[in-house]
Amino acid sequence: MDSVYEALVEIVGPEHVSSQPEELFIYSWDLGTTEPHRPDYAVAPRTAEEIRKIVQLANKEKIPVVPLGGGLSLAGLAVPFKGGILLDLKRMDDIIEVNERARYALVECGVSQGKLTAYLERHHPHLTHSEPGAPPAATIAGNVVIHGQGDLAHPYGFNSDMINGLEVVTPTGEICQFGSCAIGAGWFTLHPLPDVGLFLGWTGTTGIITKVSLRLFPCKKIRGMAQFVVDDEDLVPEVFYKITHTQMVEDIMATSQAIPPFSSELHHFTINIAADSEKELEFKLEIVFDDTLGEYIHKGDGGYLGFIRGLERPQLSKTSDWRKGGGFEYVGSIMPIEQYPECYRRGKEISERHDIPYTVLARCIGTAHAMMFSWTYAFNRADPKTIEHAREALHETDDLALELGGTIWKPGLYGQRLVMEKLNPNTLELMRKIKQLLDPNGIMNPGNWEAQ
Amino acid sequence: MYALKYDEDTCLKCRTQDCLAKCQYIDIDKESAKKEILKIAHGEDSSVLHDCVTCYACEEYCSFNNHPFYLIVEKQEELDIPPLPRPIIKRGIKTGIPFRGEPTIEKINGRALLMGAFADLMHLIQGKLFEGLPVISTDPRKMFHYFCQLMYLHYARNSVIKERLPKIIKTIAEHEVTEVVCFHDECYGTYTSYCPAIGMEVPFTPVHFFEYLYNRLLELKKEIKPVKLKVAYQRPCSSRLSPDKHRFVQAIFDLIGAQTVEREYVDENALCCGGTMEGQRREGSRKRTADLRRKNIEDMKNAGAEVCVFNCPACYNTLGQMLVQSGIRPVFMSDLCRVAIGEKPEGWR
C-alpha cells in the first residue's frame, strides 16, 4: 500500500481520500481550455487542523498540494499541473457566525455563494454580500482569493476589499490568523494591524485560506435591474461615469454579444437599483434615468428599457454558452473604463478571426475607478479544433489586455508569464523571495506564479 | 409595392376629428386636430408626429376606417421622427430576426392556432378548450419565423413590416391552414387590419382568440361553474385594430360568471400598459408612464377588482408585478376560462 495514501487516510479517514483513477479523472479538469493533469490523490479535509497535517505530510514527501473550492475555476487555476494532492475543500462549509450589527459573516473556506445567499435571505434578510456572477456553487473563499468582484462592486469594490479577517494554513503547516481575530477579538476588521497581504491574488501558492470574515451590506426590500442601451461604444465610458456620479445604484454592467441578434453591436447596461420603499425607488429612477441619462434618451442616442424587480443570479456565466458543445472560457482584465470602446472593438475582431460569436462584458468597480472587462470565447467540448481556436483567442486576448494598459484578472499560466515579463523587476524579485520564504519546498499549486 | 389606403378627402369631410381629439395622450382641440392630420397627410412636420405615444387607439377612434395611426407612423418614418431612441429601434428590429434554423412545416389542412412569437407560452393553451386544435409556432427557437412584425409600428418602421411580413405569411400558408386562430391580438390585427390597409394579401382566414374561446366555452357550457371574481380587463394596444372583437371580452366574462367592475379607464377609454411609452424620446416619458400605470391600477383597485385579465403577454409583463403589489391578481384570459370549466391552470391556487 502507498504510504502517502495511508498517511492521508490516517488524517481524514478512508472515505475522504481517493487514488482511484475514475475519481482522479474528475479532478484533472476544469471547465476551460486547459489541458488536463491528473493528481495522485484527492483529499477532502474537514478542518484546518487536518489541512495543517496534510501540508506537513506534503512537505515531508515533497509532493504538490493544490487547493480547490467549488471546482468552477477557469484558466486552469486549480488544475494539478504537477500531480500531487488535490485538496477538495467543499466539506468545510460551515457558516460559523453572522454578526447582524457589525455586518459580517465568518465562513469556512468551502461555503458556497449560493449557501451564503440562501442563509442570509432566510435568517438575515437585511443583509447581503457582493455576489459574483458565477454559478451558486462557487465558493466565497475561492472568489476572494482571486480578487473577484460581485454585484456590489460599484459601491464597495473588489470582494477581496471586503475581508475583515482570514485564517490561513501556511505552506509549511502553521495556522495563522489575520485581522482583529488574530488578537482574540471578533472578526470585525482586517485593519489596522501590520499589513501582511500575502494570500490574495496568489492563486493558492502562498497558503490555504480556511476561514474568511466577509463584510455584509444592507439589503433593501426592493432590488431590481434597470436596462439602458446605446449603439455607440464610445458613449459607454461617459455613461458609466455619469451613473456612478449619482451614487444611486448598486451594480453597473455593460454587455454586448453577437447572439441573440438583438444584442449584437449594441451595448446594454444592466443597472441594479435597491430601495426600501416605492418612494425611494422612484426617486432613484428619476435621478438616474430622467436627470442623468435623460439627455441621451431625448437626443435618441440611448434607450431606457425599464426596471424589473428581482435580481437574476447567476448572470455572467449564463450568457456564455452560445455554441453547441457547452464550453466557454474568458479572459478577464481590470482596466480603465475609458478603454471600453477599444476593448470591445479589438475583442470583436479576435472573435471574428476565430469564428466565435463575440461576447464581452464590463462591470464597474468602485465609482468608475476601473472595470472588469471580459472577453468570452465559446467552444465545443467535443471538437478539439474549436477548443484550439478558443485557446488561441484567449492568448491573443491576454496580450491585448496588457497592450491596452490593463492587468489580467486571474490569469492562467500564459497570462501569468506575460504579467511577470512586464512586472517591475524589483517587485518580481520580492514576490520570488516571499514565495521562497513561505513555501521553501515549492509544494503549493506549482506551475502558478513561478517567478524565475 | 404596398401602399397605405388613406383618403385625404375623408379627413377633409370629417366633422369630429376623433382620431386626435379623443387622444388620451395629446391635448388637442378639433380645429388644430384637423390642421395637424392634414399636415401629416401632406408629409409636413407636425407636433403629433413628435408627441404620438403609438397607442394605436386612433385606429379605433376613426369611424371611417381611414387609418390615421398607420398614416402617422408612415410619416414618422418618412420624415425621420422616430418615437423611440435609435438603439431601441435597432434592438427591436434585430429581435425579430430568426436565427435558429428553419421551421418545421406540418400540413394542417384546416384550422390551427398560431402562437406567433409566444411559443414559450404554450402553458396558456392547455386543457379542453384547445383539444383537437393543432398549433403552429410551438418552438421558441424558431418562433420568429411566425412573428407578425406589427410591433414595428411602435418603432415607426413600417418598411420593416412590409419587407418581412410576406415571408411570414408564406410560412404560415405553407402549413395549409384555412382558418388561423391568432393567440395574440397583434397577429389578428396584422392580418385583418394592417394587411388590407396596405394591400397585402392574406391567404387564410384569421380568427380572433377571444371569439374562439367564446365559441369553445359555448360548446362546454354545461361544465362552466361561475368563477365569481370581480375582474378588470387590460386592453392591449393592438386590440384597437379589431374593435369589433372587443365585445367578446364582456361576452366571455358573462359566460363564465365573472363580474366586470365599473371603471373609468375601460373600453374605448382604456389606458395603455405603457410598455413602449416609457422608453420613448419624448421628454418625461418614463415618469409619465409610471404615473399612467399608477393611475390605471388605482382605477382597478378603486373599482374593487380582484383580478386583472390579460390577453397580451407584454401588458402582463409590464403591469403584473405592480398589480400583485396592489393586491390584484394578474391572469390570462385563457387561464380564467380554464378555471371556469373546472381546470387548474399552472400556478393557479
Helices (H) and strands (E) in chain A, counts: 13, 19
- Kindly state the helix (H) or strand (E) to which residue A56 belongs, with its residue range: helix A48-61
Q: Would you list the DSSP string of B33-79?
A: HHHHHHHHHTT---HHHHH-----HHHHH-TT---HHHHHHHHHHHT
pLDDT at A9 (0 to 100): 98
Give A66-77 as a 3 state SS string: EEECCCCCCCCC
pLDDT at A321 (0 to 100): 62
A231 touches chain B (CB under 8 A): yes
Lowest mean pLDDT among A71-75, A180-184, A319-323, B123-127: A319-323
Number of domains in chain B: 3
C-alpha cell at A24: 482522479
C-alpha cell at A97: 457566525
> In which band, very low, low, confident or very high, does the pLDDT at A31 lie, cut at 50, 70 and 90?
confident
Condensed to tens digits (0 to 9), the pLDDT of residues A349-387 reads 999 999 999 999 999 999 999 999 999 998 888 899 999
B208 and B230 co-located in one domain: no
- The CATH code of the domain that includes B204 is 3.40.50
Which residues have C-beta within 8 Å of that of residue B274, sequence separation ≥ 6? B289, B290, B292, B293, B318
Quick check: A397 and A331 in contact, CB under 8 A? yes
B140 and B185 co-located in one domain: yes
Mutate to test the interface with B, among A225, A262, A268, A322 (most CBs of B within 10 A): A262
Amino acid letter at A145? Answer: V
Q: How far apart are CA A58 and CA A85, in angstroms?
A: 8
Residue A434: pLDDT over 80: yes
Q: Is B225 a domain residue? A: yes
- Kindly state the helix (H) or strand (E) to which residue A273 belongs, with its residue range: strand A267-275
User: What is the nearest CA distance from B81 to chain A, expressed in angstroms?
Assistant: 10
Residue A178: pLDDT over 70: yes
Give residue for cell 435558429.
B100
C-alpha cell at B128: 379542453
User: What is the nearest CA distance from B128 to chain A, expressed in angstroms?
Assistant: 34
Quick check: A446 and A81 in contact, CB under 8 A? yes
Burial B93-109 (b: 16+ CB within 10 A, else e): bbbbebeeeebeeeebe
- The CATH code of the domain that includes B304 is 3.40.50.1860
Report the chain A residue with the minimal C-alpha distance to residue B93: A262
Q: Is B65 a domain residue? A: yes
Residue A452: pLDDT over 80: no
Q: How far apart are CA B146 and CA B165, in angstroms?
A: 9
Contact B94 A261 (CB under 8 A): yes
Residue A323: pLDDT over 80: no
B189 and B238 co-located in one domain: no
Tell me which DSSP letter residue A287 carries. I
Contact A290 B286 (CB under 8 A): yes
A266 touches chain B (CB under 8 A): yes
Q: Is B86 a domain residue? A: no
In this structure, what are the phi and psi dihedrals at residue A230, rounded to the nearest 5 degrees? -130, 160
Contact B283 A298 (CB under 8 A): yes
Among A447, A450, A349, CA closest to A76 = A447
**Domain interval for residue B60:** 8-78
SS3 (DSSP) at A436: helix
B70 and B145 co-located in one domain: no
Contact B88 A285 (CB under 8 A): no
Q: How far apart are CA A163 and CA A156, in angstroms?
A: 11
User: What is the nearest CA distance from A273 to chain B, expressed in angstroms?
Assistant: 16
Percent of chain A with pLDDT over 90: 88
Give residue for cell 413590416.
B161
SS3 (DSSP) at A319: helix
B204 and B280 co-located in one domain: no
Q: Is the dihedral of CA A111, A114, A118, A120 positive or negative?
A: positive
Residue ending a domain, choose from B184, B212, B240 = B212
SS3 (DSSP) at A9: helix
pLDDT at A317 (0 to 100): 63
pLDDT at A320 (0 to 100): 59
Q: How many CB atoms lie within 10 A of CB A276?
A: 13
B279 touches chain A (CB under 8 A): yes
Give residue for cell 497581504.
A197
Residues in chain B closer than 8 A to A292 (CB atoms): none
CB nearest A262 (choices: B84, B94, B283)? B94
Contact B97 A300 (CB under 8 A): no
Q: How far apart are CA A135 and CA A316, in angstroms?
A: 9
Q: Is B175 a domain residue? A: yes
- Kindly state the helix (H) or strand (E) to which residue A127 belongs, with its residue range: strand A127-128
B310 and B233 co-located in one domain: yes
CB nearest A300 (choices: B82, B91, B92)? B82
Q: How far apart are CA A20 and CA A18, in angstroms?
A: 5
Residue B117: pLDDT over 70: yes
Q: Is B347 a domain residue? A: no
> In which band, very low, low, confident or very high, does the pLDDT at B44 lie, cut at 50, 70 and 90?
very high
A302 touches chain B (CB under 8 A): yes
Contact B91 A302 (CB under 8 A): no
Q: How far apart are CA A452 and CA A264, in angstroms?
A: 43
Lowest mean pLDDT among A271-280, A398-407, B94-103: B94-103
A298 touches chain B (CB under 8 A): yes
Quick check: B12 and B25 in contact, CB under 8 A? no
SS3 (DSSP) at A301: coil
- Kindly state the helix (H) or strand (E) to which residue A236 belongs, with its residue range: helix A236-246
B72 and B120 co-located in one domain: no
Q: How far apart are CA B116 and CA A251, in angstroms?
A: 35
Residue B223: pLDDT over 80: yes
> In which band, very low, low, confident or very high, does the pLDDT at A260 lie, cut at 50, 70 and 90?
confident
Among A49, A142, A33, CA closest to A445 = A142
A294 touches chain B (CB under 8 A): yes
Contact A301 B87 (CB under 8 A): yes
Condensed to tens digits (0 to 9), the pLDDT of residues B304-322 reads 999 999 999 999 999 999 9
In this structure, what are the phi and psi dihedrals at residue A225, rounded to the nearest 5 degrees? -125, 130
Q: How far apart are CA A356 and CA A345, in angstroms?
A: 14
Strands, DSSP E only, in chain B?
A: 110-114, 135-136, 177-182, 205-208, 230-233, 259-260, 307-310, 329-332
Residues in chain A closer than 8 A to B143 (CB atoms): none
- Kindly state the helix (H) or strand (E) to which residue A225 belongs, with its residue range: strand A222-230
Residues in chain A closer than 8 A to B144 (CB atoms): none
Among A356, A358, A364, A320, CA closest to A340 = A364
Rounded alpha-carbon distances, angstroms, from residue A402 to A359, A448, A451, B141: 19, 19, 18, 39
User: What is the nearest CA distance from B258 to chain A, expressed in angstroms?
Assistant: 30
B281 and B245 co-located in one domain: yes
Residue A134: pLDDT over 70: yes
Residue ending a domain, choose from B161, B187, B212 = B212
C-alpha cell at A238: 461617459
A276 touches chain B (CB under 8 A): no
Residues in chain A closer than 8 A to B50 (CB atoms): none
B205 and B273 co-located in one domain: no
Rounded alpha-carbon distances, angstroms, from residue A86 to A118, A168, A200, B286: 28, 17, 20, 54
pLDDT at A318 (0 to 100): 61
Give me the mean pLDDT over the A114-141 stretch: 96
Give me the mean pLDDT over the A282-287 stretch: 98
- According to DSSP, the β-strands at A104-108 and A208-215 are antiparallel
Q: How far apart are CA B156 and CA B158, in angstroms?
A: 6
pLDDT at A71 (0 to 100): 86
Q: Has this prediction a pTM greater than 0.90?
A: yes
Condensed to tens digits (0 to 9), the pLDDT of residues B246-284 reads 999 999 999 999 999 999 999 999 999 999 999 999 999
C-alpha cell at A152: 456590489
pLDDT at A316 (0 to 100): 59
B336 and B267 co-located in one domain: yes
SS3 (DSSP) at A220: coil
Q: How far apart are CA A75 and CA A416, in angstroms?
A: 11
B336 and B260 co-located in one domain: yes
Give me the mean pLDDT over the A128-151 stretch: 94
pLDDT at A313 (0 to 100): 67
Quick check: B222 and B261 in contact, CB under 8 A? no
pLDDT: which is higher, A72 or A341: A341
> In which band, very low, low, confident or very high, does the pLDDT at A194 lie, cut at 50, 70 and 90?
confident
Residue ending a domain, choose from B212, B242, B269 = B212
Report the chain A residue with the minimal C-alpha distance to residue B81: A300
Condensed to tens digits (0 to 9), the pLDDT of residues A199-257 reads 999 999 999 999 999 999 999 999 999 999 999 999 999 999 999 999 999 999 999 99
ipTM score for this prediction = 0.93
> In which band, very low, low, confident or very high, does the pLDDT at A73 lie, cut at 50, 70 and 90?
confident
Among B170, B135, B128, B136, CA closest to B345 = B128
Residue A451: pLDDT over 80: no
Residues in chain B closer than 8 A to A302 (CB atoms): 85, 87
What average pLDDT does the structure give for chain A?
Answer: 94
Full set of structural domains in chain A with CATH: 3-88 (3.30.43.10), 95-218 (3.30.465.10), 221-410 (3.40.462.10)
C-alpha cell at B66: 381611414
Tell me which DSSP letter residue A104 carries. E
Q: How far apart are CA A253 and CA B220, in angstroms?
A: 52
Residues in chain A closer than 8 A to B318 (CB atoms): 306
B232 and B208 co-located in one domain: no
What average pLDDT does the structure give for chain B?
Answer: 96
Helical segments of A313-412, H only: 340-353, 384-403
Q: Is B28 a domain residue? A: yes
CA atoms within 13 A on the CB side of B294: 9
Q: Is B94 a domain residue? A: no
Give residue for cell 444592507.
A218
Q: Is B24 a domain residue? A: yes
> In which band, very low, low, confident or very high, does the pLDDT at A172 lie, cut at 50, 70 and 90?
very high
Amino acid letter at B3? Answer: A
Cα dihedral: A321, A323, A329, A332 (round 10): -70
pLDDT at A315 (0 to 100): 58
Mutate to test the interface with A, among B50, B76, B81, B91 (most CBs of A within 10 A): B91
Is the peptide bond prior to A45 cis by the omega test (within 30 degrees of 0)? no
Q: How far apart are CA B310 and CA B61, in angstroms?
A: 22
Quick check: B186 and B150 in contact, CB under 8 A? yes
For A:377-396, CB contacts with B below 8 A are: none
